[in-house]
Amino acid sequence: MKRILSIQSSVTYGFVGNSVATPVLTSMGIHPLAVNTVMLAAHPGYGIFAGQATPADHIAAILNGLVTLDIIPDIDAVISGYLGHADQIAHIASLISNWRAAGASGTYICDLVLGDADTLYIDQSLADRMIDQLLPLADIITPNQFELTYLSGMPVAGSDSAIKAGQHLLASQARLTAVIATGITNDDDLVHDILITRSVHKSWQHKKRLAGISGSGDLFTSLLAGGLVQGVPLSDATARASHLAQAVIARSPNPKELALLENLDLFRTTS
């Protein structure tokens, strides 16, 4: 069975971070190895903050435990998403380095969760250290429109500028093989998910909703990682993740939550 190490947030109620990745990957027949960077009652969209970031020494102990258990060589891909504190980053970076030193050829997908809607919603120090220490290790990143602007230092106002910003990041990061920009808006009634590599770019369009749904980016990244470890080529895995994520979004009447559990059958039929 394929294994994906997923280092993200977790909530007791609802679906973001590992609370998305765990059921999605399991439904795809993949073993999720979940490390929770934050443990909350619910995501902040509910207007509460009940819980806390996982202490960095706890993260270190768990990741070092995986090394001791000799599980690292058997991990097929790694995802990192929302982080709770800048002190967690060095331990995650060390794990990625150990994983590669063990001969891993899998993909590290770094979802640099920084903000949305023109707003940085994590501490500046956390954002800076993620960019300094994790971005250079990434094979693929999956920024939204705001994050792509922030990472590239270039204004992103639509597909053309998103492609230019993605190409700029590829030129500045030697290891990076793909930037997948999600939720890019143009002067139309659509949102665009765009795969940008050094040689090609492809786009998939979907009808725009009035508002986004928390966890939709985590769903996209989980589906992408799952497809890649199943041997699906990058372009096809991106297309599948884009269409399946949008299918779940379209079936989600509550703007605060993905209708995830009701739609896990969508992922089982694509494995």
What are the pLDDT tens digits along the chain (271 aa)? 999 999 999 999 999 999 999 999 999 999 999 999 999 999 888 888 899 999 999 999 999 999 999 999 999 999 999 999 999 999 999 999 999 999 989 999 999 999 998 889 899 999 999 999 999 999 999 999 999 999 999 999 999 999 999 999 999 999 999 999 999 999 888 999 999 999 999 999 999 877 778 999 999 999 999 999 999 999 999 999 999 999 999 999 988 999 999 999 999 854 4
Instruction: Report the predicted TM-score, pTM, of the whole model to 2 decimal places.
Output: 0.96
Coil, strand or helix at 52: strand
- Cα-Cα-Cα-Cα torsion 38, 62, 224, 77, nearest 10 degrees, comes to 160
Closest CA to 172 of 192, 154, 195, 146: 154
Fold of 3-268: UDP-N-acetylmuramoyl-L-alanine:D-glutamate ligase (3.40.1190)
Torsion on CA atoms 177, 201, 231, 94, rounded to nearest 10: 20
Instruction: Return the DSSP state at 139.
Output: S
Name 116's bridge partners: 119
| End-to-end Cα spacing for the chain | 12
Residue 173 class from Cβ within 10 Å (0-12 exposed, 13-18 middle, 19+ buried)? middle
